[in-house]
Amino acid sequence: MNAYAQKSKDELNGQLTALLSEYEVFKNEGHSLDISRGKPCKEQLDLSVGMMDTLSSKSSLNAQNGFDCRNYGIIDGIEEAKELFSQLFDVAKSEIVIGGNSSLGMMYDAMIRAILFGVSEDAKPWGEQGEVKFVCPSPGYDRHFHLCEELGIKMIPVGMDENGPDMDAVRKIVESDESVKGMWCVPKFSNPTGVVYSDEVVRAIAALKPAAKDFRVFWDNAYAVHDLYERVELLSLLDECKKAGNADMVYMFGSTSKVSFAGSGIAILAASEANIAHAKSHMKFQTIGSDKLNQLRHVRFFKNTDGVYAHMKKHAQVIGTKFDIVDDILTERVGKSELAEWIKPKGGYFISLDVKYGSAKKVVGMMKDAGIMITPAGVTFPYGDDPRDSNIRIAPTFTGNDALSLAMKTLCLCINIVSIEDALKGK
Amino acid sequence: MNAYAQKSKDELNGQLTALLSEYEVFKNEGHSLDISRGKPCKEQLDLSVGMMDTLSSKSSLNAQNGFDCRNYGIIDGIEEAKELFSQLFDVAKSEIVIGGNSSLGMMYDAMIRAILFGVSEDAKPWGEQGEVKFVCPSPGYDRHFHLCEELGIKMIPVGMDENGPDMDAVRKIVESDESVKGMWCVPKFSNPTGVVYSDEVVRAIAALKPAAKDFRVFWDNAYAVHDLYERVELLSLLDECKKAGNADMVYMFGSTSKVSFAGSGIAILAASEANIAHAKSHMKFQTIGSDKLNQLRHVRFFKNTDGVYAHMKKHAQVIGTKFDIVDDILTERVGKSELAEWIKPKGGYFISLDVKYGSAKKVVGMMKDAGIMITPAGVTFPYGDDPRDSNIRIAPTFTGNDALSLAMKTLCLCINIVSIEDALKGK
C-alpha cells in the first residue's frame, strides 16, 4: 500500500502541483545526465592506467614460451593469459579460448557457429532445424535479447527471483521442446537484478535433460570478480555439468572489460575440451588469432588472481559509493513510501528498480524529457516487452557522484508524480 | 625446353646420383626452416617497436574529439584513425569501418552478414538462395578459398595473368549466373603471383553487370602500401564502381598487419556509405566497438600517410633483400636451365613459382621431408586443386637471410632432382 493511496484528492492535487513545478524547473535547466549503460567512469578507468606502462619498446614482447607476441599465430591465446583466466574462472587451461576485446563478439561467434555448423561435428546446424528458441530469464541483459532477435531466435521469458531463474519453468520448457536450443544466464550479479544464482539453481541447470541434444547454456559470467564487499561464491557450472554427465552443455563467457579497460579488455570463451576443439576447428577460418600484445599487457599488469582481486577492491570502492547514493536516495524518497522495490546488489553494475505496474514507461519518458539518459523501459525483457511495465534499470557507474544524485532525485520525483497521478485516477 | 631434355641417360643418371646424395646429406642434417607463410620477420617487427611507447600512463588517452578511448563505444573507429585510412585507401571517412586486429575476421563477418541477412535491407540472404558461388582468380590466397569452403560457397577458378584475372572469363561467369554472388581479389601484389591489377582490369571489374543484384567483389587490398621500389598505383575500385553506377558492388579490406604488428594491427572495411550503413546496422548486435587504444597507438605512431610511406620503405629494405636472394638463387639454379618460371614482384609478400606441370607436389613433398615448411602444393587454388600441379608459393619474409638461402638452394635442388627424374622417364 503506497503512501498516496489513502490521501485526499485535495492533498494529492496540492502535492502534484508542487512536484510538477519542481520537475518543470529541472527540465528547463537543460540537464544532460546519463545513467543508461554499464560503463565504467573515468576514475575506474584510471585504476588501470598503469597497464599502459607494462609494455614499452624496452620490454620483452615475447610470451613465456618465447613466442613473439607481435607476430601472427596462437589462435587460442598465450599460455600465461590462459593460466590467469583458468584460475579466475575455475576451469582448466585446455578449456579456454582467449578472444579479442569483446565477450559479446565471442557470444555472437558461438551463435553463428551453432547456426551455420551445429554445436558439434555430428550435430545439425541450428539454422537447418526450423524454429530455434532460447530460454531468457527476465529481466535480463538487453544485448542478449537483441542478439536473439537479430538471429531470428524466438525468446521464451522465464521469471527471476533472488536465487536466479525459475528452474521449474526452465526445466519444463527445456525438457519438453526440442526446438529450445539455448538459455541465457548472467549468473553472478545478474544484469539487471544483481542476483547471484544459488548453488541449487546452478546444480538444477547442470542437471537439465534437454529435449534437444544440441542445447547449450550461454553462461555470461560478466561480473565474475566484481564483488563490492566480501567475495560471493558462484558454483562452477562447468564442474557441475561434468558431475551431471553434461560437460558439453555449457559455453561460459567472461572478459576484463570491467576489470581493465571497457573498450580494450580481453574476452574469453570457456567450455569442455570437446566444445573448445569444435570452436577452434571453425575459428581457424575466421582469424589467425587475437591481439597477443594486449594479453601480455594484462598478464604483466595483474600478474595473478591476487592482483586481479586487489584491483577489483579499488573498483568496489568507486562503485560502492555510487550504489550507496542510489540506495540512500531511493530509500528516502520512494522506499519508505512504498512506491518502488529493489534489491541492493553485492556486486555488478546495475540496480533494478520495480515501480508500480504500468508506470515504468511513463517514468522513463519523463526522465528522458528532463535530459536524463536512462535504459528504455522494457528492454530488460525479450522483445522489449515488460509485461508488467514495471522494471527500470539503473546504471550508476558512468556518471559523477553529484550528477548521479541529481539523476536519482529526479527519478524519484518522476516516480512520485506518476504515483500521485495514478492515485488521483484511483489506480 | 629445359636443360635436361637433351642429355643422355648416363649423364642424367650421374647427375641424379650426385644431387640425391646432396639432398640426403641435407636431410640428415635435421634442418627446420620455414618459408610457408607471409609472416614478417623479427627485424620487420622491430621497425614498429616505437609504437609501444606512443601511449603510456602519462599520455592523453582521449581521441581528438575528447572521447576516452579506454571506454566502450564508437563502433566504427575514432575519427583520426578513419582519417588516416581514408587517405591510405583513397576513400571518404564515411566509407570506413575500423575493426579489430584481423581483416580476415572482417571478411568473415561480411560473408556471415551476406549469408544470414543479405547484402542490403531489401536483399534476400545468400543462405536462402540455394547454391552460392564465388569467382576465384587463381592462383590466389588460400585463406580466401578455405573461407568459401567453410561456408559452403562453391568456387569457380579463373585464370590470372600479369594484369590480373582473365576478365573475359569473369564477365561470362558473373553476368550469366545469378548464383554467382561474389569474387575474391587481391588487387595489388596479388597473393601469390605478385601481380598488380591493371587499370583496364579494375575498370572492367567496375563495369561488370552481374546477373545477381546482390553480387559483391571482396577486394582484399592487403598490400596497398607494400611497395618494394617506387610506388605502384592501383586504381580505386570504389571510385571506378561509382563512375560505372555500381557503387555498392564492392567491399574493400585492408589492415596494418604487415605495416605495424602482424598480430596487433588494425583492420578496415571500406565501401559505399550504403554498404557501411548496412554493415553497421548488423555489427551493433555483435560488438560495442573495436580496441580504440590500439587505433590511437597507430595514429600517434604513424601520424599521417607520409609516416606510413616512410615506414614502408624500411620494410622494403628488409623484404627487398629477401626477394633478391630468392630471385638470384632461382635464376642461377633453375631459371637459366628453364626448369621453372616466376615473376619477381615489385611488392607484397610472395614469389609464385611455376615448375614443370605435374611436379609441384613432388617438389614440395621433398622439401617437407627435408625439414623445410613450405606452403602445400595446390592450396593456392580452390579446393587445393592446382589442375597443372605446377604452382609453388614462396614466402621469404619470416626466415633469416642465411636460412632463406639454404631453403631456396634446397628448393632448387629438389626441382633439379624431379626434373632429371622426369627426363629419365621421358616426360
HEC string of A236-259 equals CHHHHHHHCCCHHHEEEEEECCCC
DSSP A71-139: SS--TT--HHHHHHHHHHTT--GGGEEE-SS-HHHHHHHHHHHHHHH-SSTTSPPGGGSS--EEEEEES
Q: What is the residue extent of each domain of chain B?
A: 9-45+309-424, 63-303
> Does the pLDDT at position A344 exceed 70?
yes
Nearest to B263 among A72, A101, A102 (CB): A72
Q: What is the dihedral of CA A119, A122, A127, A131, to 10 degrees?
A: -90
Q: How far is CA B185 from the centre of its chain?
A: 9
The rounded distance, in Å, linking the Cα atoms of A24 and B150 is 59
Give CA angle at B252 (B249, B257), nearest 5°.
165
The rounded distance, in Å, linking the Cα atoms of B327 and B341 is 11
Which CATH code, of 3.40.640.10, 3.40.50.2000, 3.30.200.20, 1.10.580.10, is assigned to A62-303? 3.40.640.10
Residue A191 in contact with residue A38, Cβ under 8 Å? Answer: yes
In percent, the amount of chain B with pLDDT more than 90 equals 98
The predicted-structure confidence for A293-320, as pLDDT tens digits, reads as follows: 999 999 999 999 999 999 999 999 999 9
A261 has a chain B CB within 8 A of its CB = yes
B309 has a chain A CB within 8 A of its CB = no
The rounded distance, in Å, linking the Cα atoms of B148 and B101 is 21
The rounded distance, in Å, linking the Cα atoms of A81 and A298 is 8
Which positions 117-156 of A are in contact with B (Cβ < 8 Å)?
127, 143, 146-147, 150-151
Nearest to A112 among B50, B112, B146 (CB): B112
In percent, the amount of chain A with pLDDT more than 90 equals 98
Produce one character per residue of A8-33: b if its CB has 16 or more CB atoms within 10 Å, e if not.
eeeebeebbeebeeebeebeeeeeeb
A75 has a chain B CB within 8 A of its CB = no
The rounded distance, in Å, linking the Cα atoms of B348 and B359 is 26
A264 has a chain B CB within 8 A of its CB = yes
For B38-57, what is the mean pLDDT?
97
Q: Which chain A residues have a beta carbon less than 8 Å from that of B289?
A: 263
Nearest to B70 among A45, A72, A289 (CB): A45
- Per-residue cell: B145: 578459398
Q: B287 and A53: CB-CB below 8 Å? A: no
pLDDT for position B181: 98
pLDDT for position A5: 84
- Per-residue cell: B322: 629477401
Q: Which chain B residues have a beta carbon less than 8 Å from that of A42?
A: 68
| Closest chain B residue by Cα to residue A264 | B291
pLDDT for position A2: 81
For B306-327, what is the mean pLDDT?
98
For A157-173, what is the mean pLDDT?
97
pLDDT band at A1 (very low <50, low <70, confident <90, very high): low
pLDDT for position B1: 61
The predicted-structure confidence for B133-153, as pLDDT tens digits, reads as follows: 999 999 999 999 999 999 999
Tracing cell 529481466 back to the chain, one arrives at A139
Residue B62 in contact with residue B55, Cβ under 8 Å? Answer: no
Tracing cell 600517410 back to the chain, one arrives at B305
pLDDT for position B6: 85
B323 has a chain A CB within 8 A of its CB = no
Rg (CA), chain A: 23
Taken in order A66, A70, A75, A80, the sign of the CA dihedral is: positive
Number of CB atoms found within 10 A of residue B334's CB: 25
- Per-residue cell: B125: 540472404
A101 has a chain B CB within 8 A of its CB = yes
Nearest Cα neighbor of B56 from A14, A10, A50 is A50
> Does the pLDDT at position B270 exceed 90?
yes
Return all residues near B81 (Cβ < 8 A) that are at least 6 apart: B98, B266, B295, B296, B298, B299
Return all residues near B42 (Cβ < 8 A) that are at least 6 apart: A68
Q: B287 and A104: CB-CB below 8 Å? A: yes
Q: Which helix (H) or strand (E) holds A355?
A: strand A351-355
Three-class SS of residue A68?
A: strand
Rg (CA), chain B: 23
Tracing cell 582521449 back to the chain, one arrives at B62
For B405-421, what is the mean pLDDT?
97
The rounded distance, in Å, linking the Cα atoms of A276 and A95 is 6
The rounded distance, in Å, linking the Cα atoms of A315 and B222 is 41
How deeply is A208 buried, as exposed, middle or buried, from its count of CB atoms within 10 A (0-12, 13-18, 19+)? buried
How deeply is A166 buried, as exposed, middle or buried, from its count of CB atoms within 10 A (0-12, 13-18, 19+)? middle
| Closest chain B residue by Cα to residue A398 | B71
> Does the pLDDT at position B126 exceed 80?
yes
The predicted-structure confidence for A2-39, as pLDDT tens digits, reads as follows: 889 889 999 999 999 999 999 999 999 999 999 998 99
Residue A35 in contact with residue A398, Cβ under 8 Å? Answer: yes
The predicted-structure confidence for A190-230, as pLDDT tens digits, reads as follows: 999 999 999 999 999 999 999 999 999 999 999 999 999 99
C-alpha neighbours within 13 Å on the C-beta side of residue A1: 3
The CATH architecture assigned to B63-303 reads 3-Layer(aba) Sandwich (3.40)
Indicate the angle between helix axes A305-330 and A401-424, nearest 10 degrees: 40
Give CA angle at B226 (B221, B227), nearest 5°.
120
Number of CB atoms found within 10 A of residue B289's CB: 25
H helices of A273-330, in order, are: 273-283, 292-302, 305-330
pLDDT band at B396 (very low <50, low <70, confident <90, very high): very high
Return all residues near A49 (Cβ < 8 A) that are at least 6 apart: B57, B61
Mutation to test the B interface, candidates A60, A74, A76, A288, most B Cβ within 10 Å: A288
Nearest Cα neighbor of B272 from B298, B305, B244, B295 is B244
Give CA angle at A109 (A105, A113), nearest 5°.
175
Nearest to A50 among B57, B264, B291 (CB): B57
CA distances B200 to A294, B26, B179, B190, B221, Å, are 43, 47, 26, 16, 17
Q: B56 and A55: CB-CB below 8 Å? A: no
Indicate the angle between helix axes B305-330 and B79-89, nearest 10 degrees: 50
B383 has a chain A CB within 8 A of its CB = no
pLDDT for position A426: 83
For A180-186, what is the mean pLDDT?
98
> Does the pLDDT at position A427 exceed 80?
no
Produce one character per residue of B108-134: b if its CB has 16 or more CB atoms within 10 Å, e if not.
bbbbbbbbbbbbeeebeebbebeebbb
Mutation to test the A interface, candidates B71, B98, B112, B145, most A Cβ within 10 Å: B71
pLDDT for position B5: 84
pLDDT for position A3: 83
- Per-residue cell: B315: 620494410
The predicted-structure confidence for A116-164, as pLDDT tens digits, reads as follows: 999 999 999 999 999 999 999 999 999 999 999 999 999 999 999 999 9
Which positions 274-303 of B are in contact with A (Cβ < 8 Å)?
282, 285-294
CB pairs under 8 A between A and B: 144
Q: How far is CA B420 from the centre of its chain?
A: 33
The rounded distance, in Å, linking the Cα atoms of B234 and B255 is 17
For A410-427, what is the mean pLDDT?
94
Three-class SS of residue A229?
A: coil
B261 has a chain A CB within 8 A of its CB = yes
Task: Give the per-residue SS3 of chain B.
Answer: CCCCCCCCHHHHHHHHHHHHHHHHHHHHCCCCEEECCCCCCHHHHHHCHHHHHCCCCCCCCECCCCCECCCCCCCCCCHHHHHHHHHHHCCCHHHEEECCCCHHHHHHHHHHHHHHHCCCCCCCCHHHCCCCEEEEEECCCHHHHHHHHHCCCEEEEEEEECCEECHHHHHHHHHHCCCEEEEEECCCCCCCCCCCCCHHHHHHHHCCCCCCCCCEEEEECCCCCCECCCCCCCCCHHHHHHHCCCHHHEEEEEECCCCCCCCCCCEEEECCHHHHHHHHHHHCCCCCCCCHHHHHHHHHHHCCHHHHHHHHHHHHHHHHHHHHHHHHHHHHHHHCCCCEEECCCCECCCEEEEECCCCHHHHHHHHHHCCEEECCCCCCCHHHCCCCCCEEEECCCCCCHHHHHHHHHHHHHHHHHHHHHHHHCCC
Residue A18 Cα, gap to closest chain B Cα (Å): 39
Cis ω for the linkage preceding B192 (within 30 of 0): yes
How deeply is A345 buried, as exposed, middle or buried, from its count of CB atoms within 10 A (0-12, 13-18, 19+)? buried
B7 Rama sector, left if φ>0, alpha if ψ -120 to 50, beta otherwise: beta
Residue B329 in contact with residue B408, Cβ under 8 Å? Answer: yes
Q: How far is CA A29 from the centre of its chain?
A: 33
Residue B50 Cα, gap to closest chain A Cα (Å): 6
B68 has a chain A CB within 8 A of its CB = yes
pLDDT for position B159: 97
Q: Answer yes or no: CATH 1.10.150.120 is held by domain A9-44+309-424.
A: no
CATH of segment(s) B9-45+309-424: 3.90.1150.10
